[in-house]
Amino acid sequence: MNDMRIVERDVETKKVKIAAKNVQVYYGTTHAIKDVSVEIEDKTVTAFIGPSGCGKSTFLRCINRMNDTIDICRVTGDIRIDGYDIYDPKVDPVQLRAKVGMVFQKPNPFPKSIYDNVAYGPRIHGLAKNKADLDDIVEKSLRRGAIWDEVKDRLQSPGTGLSGGQQQRLCIARAVATEPEVLLMDEPCSALDPIATAQVEELIDELRTNYSVVIVTHSMQQAARVSQKTAFFHLGNLVEYGETGTIFTNPVDPRTESYITGRIG
Amino acid sequence: MTDASMSPDSAAPKSGLATIDARTRKRNAAEKRFRLYGMAAIGVGLLFLVFLFTSILRSGLPAFTQTVLNIEFVLTSEQFDTAESKMMKTGEYQNIFVAALQDQLEASGLEVAFDSKSIERIVGKPGGTIRRFFLENPDRIGTPVSFELAASSRVDGYFNGRVTRDTIVDSRFLMAADLDLVDALHDAGIIHGAFNWNFITGTDSGVDNPGGAGLGASVIGSFFMMLVVLFLSLPIGVAASIYLEEFAPKNRWTDLIEVNISNLAAVPSIVFGILGLAVFIQFAGMPQSAPLVGGLVLTLMTLPTIIISTRASLAAVPPSIRDAALGVGASKMQSVFHHVLPLAMPGILTGTIIGLAQALGETAPLLLIGMVGFVAREYPEGFVSGFTDANSAMPAQIYTWASRADPGFYEKAWGGIIILLLFLITMNAIAVVLRRRFERRW
């Protein structure tokens, strides 16, 4: 976490977790995502970078169908997780979202106790057989969220009373409590100070061992620090996608180069 | 008012921070002026409020007191037998009563000549009451029994200052001369003011007896109406708002429904009354003047209020909470019922109570379904008949009293307003408390 250095990545090929092909997203008449095709690997951190309004968050929200909640939003194309088309009419978005967890830009804990925040997902999905089981899940999730030691003595106090960084880690704990396979993070550190950011980034790196993590970020340093793969979006197009090291040191597209060197965006 | 744009020339001379330039001075003056306007507006509002409350209290408080004539005397068994053998039984009892009164006055050393007729003008005909008491309690014959008899509304008015010797018109109701007797009785402690429990617990009396009129039956009528309103408009209103706000697709139809709900909130209440008359009474054949029908009409009237306030409080729940719930795989309904609704609850409850309070004070629709004309002389017999039996309601009762000829009823109407206001203030206080209690921050 100490510098801008791009660490040596293991570049062995992994299983493709999410495969998107020719995805188009329209907000009313606005064409927000133009023909994006991307293959996201399992047990990898993939970063989406790009200037504001380039569609990276929109594309992220397509992966767990959160865009369904926006009336005017229309998605076409093909997104597959483990080979299953998630936009198949037979797929229930609720079930999908249990498999594809999401962490939002602004920490948004429920106005309930810390315990209930984490226990909510397992409860509604029936993941715990009894109270002891649920306690285990809550503890395990809070440990994975790297916040257990800070809150273990006050699990019944409200989650909204935590600091911003703690809240975001609580939200991550909440997201992993349902045992998702993919974790989507929409600028998870934008509301956090550098120390909390470092904690969350460390956490993301740990989560990689279990999940496929997709992170949208405005900070190129962050993308360089945490991700193995990087996708650069510009004006709704996926401009370049590849190994993070390659994107940052040897980009193919001139637009990528201008963006990472700070000339556009 | 203040001007946002800076003119270039005024910025030219640089002055020290301590000197206030003309522009700043103007701005400060404008602000000060605006504050004064605001305070003046609040002052005027408060003044009206104070005026309203003092006038209501001054006119209405006398309704809570009742001048009573208190007298204790012994009825011997011979007197009882004599009276029962007479043709005019109650008249005989009245004579006994008058004699007892005479004795008491003489005992107090007050000499006022009076006859049976003036007693009748002061307390009505007490013979019937006395006879009924002794017929029901024959064991009390021969023991001292104290009677408390309500004085007529004019005597009441005399003590309230409504009736004076100057304003009194000699009539068969009260002569100026009778007031001397009243004064004497008052000095003897026989006539005095007492708290009028009958006004709160009693039922409505006929048009000629304002002293006996009570609001109790119409309070019960209002209560049953509010039950109907609460148990219909809360579930319907909340369900409709949740559907419209959270589930309904945003299209031309929902827009149309939205606009019409807002329009309904502005429809004059008498229109709802006409609707109730036509639909519930004439078409559906429900009983007239029944709290059930009143409640249904008021439900129609309250629904838009509840829907609008519920939708506003649902919309005020931050979308991030919905996202959070959906993000962990909650269904739409789970996200609404587990997270959005609890957060919106204080707003919903406040809206409902305010809607109920509005319905409680509504008179115009009740006018048309026959609650105003009805003289509520009796309490409903049971829970079901509380809904279906003809009854009055508080505002309808007040309206009825206000339109009766006897000035005694005027006082009762104001007194009724005090009770109605007490209910409304209590309900609004509950709304405030609930809001404070359930308000959660996020």
Using an 8 Å CB-CB cutoff, list chain A residues near B339. 110
Nearest alpha-carbon partner for A121 in A141, A148, A91, A143:
A141
B-chain residues near A94 (CB < 8 A): 329-331
Residue B338 contacts A where some CB pair is shorter than 8 Å: yes
Question: Which of the residues A68, A92, A102 would you substitute to probe the B interface, choosing the one with the greatest number of B C-beta atoms within 10 Å?
Answer: A102
> Chain B contacts of A171, Cβ < 8 Å?
324
Could you write out the three-class secondary structure of chain A?
CCCCCCCCCCCCCCCEEEEEEEEEEEECCEEEEEEEEEEEECCCEEEEECCCCCCHHHHHHHHCCHHHHCCCEEEEEEEEECCEECCCCCCCHHHHHHHEEEECCCCCCCCCEHHHHHHHHHHHHCCCCCHHHHHHHHHHHHHHCCCHHHHCCCCCCEHHHCCHHHHHHHHHHHHHHCCCCEEEEECCCCCCCHHHHHHHHHHHHHHCCCCEEEEECCCHHHHHHHCCEEEEEECCEEEEEEEHHHHHHCCCCHHHHHHHCCCCC
B330 touches chain A (CB under 8 A): yes
CB–CB of A98 and B329 under 8 A? yes
Least CA distance to A72: which residue of chain B? Answer: B250
Mind telling me how many Å the CA of B263 is from chain A's nearest CA? 26
Please tell me if residue B248 touches chain A, with a CB cutoff of 8 Å: no
Mutate to test the interface with B, among A86, A105, A117, A124 (most CBs of B within 10 A): A124
Tell me which of B139 and A264 has the higher pLDDT. B139
Question: Which residues of chain A make contact with B327, given a CB cutoff of 8 A?
Answer: 64, 66, 97, 101-104, 175
Q: Give the model's confidence band at A1: pLDDT under 50 very low, under 70 low, under 90 confident, else very high.
A: very low
- Inter-chain touch B328–A106, beta carbons under 8 Å: no
Beta strands per DSSP E along B182-287: 191-195
Sequence spans of domains, chain B? 64-204, 216-438
Q: Report chain B residues whose CB lies below 8 A from the CB of A95.
A: 329
Contact A98 B322 (CB under 8 A): no
Cα distances from B283 to residues B276, B286, B287, in angstroms, run 9, 8, 11
Please tell me the predicted confidence (pLDDT) of residue B9: 52
Beta bridge partners of A41: A16
pLDDT given for residue B300 in this prediction: 92
User: A71–B249: do the CB atoms touch at under 8 Å?
Assistant: yes
Selected residue of B253, B328, B334, B440 to mutate for chain A interface (largest A Cβ count, 10 A): B328
Q: Does B328 touch chain A (CB under 8 A)?
A: yes
What's residue B293's pLDDT? 92
**How wide is the angle at C-alpha B432 spanned by C-alphas B427 and B436, nearest 5°?**
145
Q: Could you tell me which residues are beta bridge partners of residue B70?
A: B148
Is residue A175 scored above 50 in pLDDT? Answer: yes
Residue reference for tokens 């992170």: A215
A–B CB contacts, 8 A cutoff, strictly below? 68
Nearest residue of A to residue B339 by CA position?
A110
A97 and B327 in contact by Cβ < 8 A?
yes
Hey, is the C-beta of A177 within 8 angstroms of any chain B C-beta? yes
Interface membership of B437 toward A (CB under 8 Å): no
**Range with the lowest mean pLDDT among A71-85, A146-160, B176-190, B264-278?**
B176-190
Q: What is the tens place of the pLDDT at every residue in A24-49?
A: 999 888 898 898 999 999 889 999 99
Whether this model's ipTM surpasses 0.90 comes out as: no
For residues B52 and B412, give the distance between their C-alpha atoms in angstroms, rounded to a whole number: 17
Q: Is A27 part of the contact surface with chain B (CB cutoff 8 Å)?
A: no
Q: How far apart are the C-alpha atoms of B401 and B395, rounded to whole Å? A: 10
What is the token pair recorded at B285?
């054949």
- Looking at residue B257, its pLDDT comes to 92
Q: Taking residues A49-69, what's their average pLDDT?
A: 88
CA distance A120 to A118: 6
List the single residue in B327, B338, B440 with the smallest CB-CB distance to A102.
B327
Q: Closest-CA residue in chain A for B327?
A: A102
Q: Does B10 touch chain A (CB under 8 A)?
A: no
Q: Is it true that domain B216-438 has CATH number 3.60.9.10? A: no
Amino acid in position B197: W
Contact status, residue B66 vs residue B211, Cβ threshold 8 Å? yes
Q: Which residues of B touch A108 (CB under 8 A)?
A: 318, 320-321, 323-324
- Structure token digits, residue A111: 């106005």
Residue B9 to residue B21: CA distance in whole angstroms? 13
A178/B329 Cβ within 8 A: yes
- Mention every residue, 6+ apart, whose C-beta is less than 8 A from residue B172: B121
Who among B329, B330, B442 is closest to A160 (CB)?
B442
Partners of residue B440 in chain A, C-beta under 8 Å: 111
- Residue B141: DSSP 8-state: T
Between CA A222 and CA A205 the distance in angstroms is 12
Contact: B326, A97; criterion CB under 8 Å? yes
* Least-confidence region, from A140-144, A146-150, B438-442: B438-442
Sequential pLDDT tens for chain B (442 residues) = 445 555 555 555 566 777 788 898 999 999 999 999 999 999 999 999 999 999 999 888 888 888 888 888 888 888 888 888 887 788 888 888 888 888 888 887 777 777 777 888 888 778 888 888 888 888 888 888 888 888 887 888 888 777 777 777 766 677 777 888 888 888 877 888 888 888 888 888 877 777 788 888 899 999 999 999 999 999 999 999 999 998 888 889 999 999 999 999 889 989 999 999 999 999 998 888 899 999 999 999 999 999 999 999 999 999 899 989 998 888 889 999 999 999 998 889 889 998 999 999 998 999 888 888 788 888 888 888 888 888 889 999 999 888 888 778 888 899 999 999 999 999 999 888 888 887 765 4
More confident residue, B115 or A127: A127
Mean pLDDT of chain A: 87
Distance CA B281, CA B390 (A): 13
Q: Is the Cβ pair B327, A94 closer than 8 Å?
A: no
B285–A contact, CB cutoff 8 A: no
DSSP alpha helix (H) spans, B125-177: 127-136, 153-160
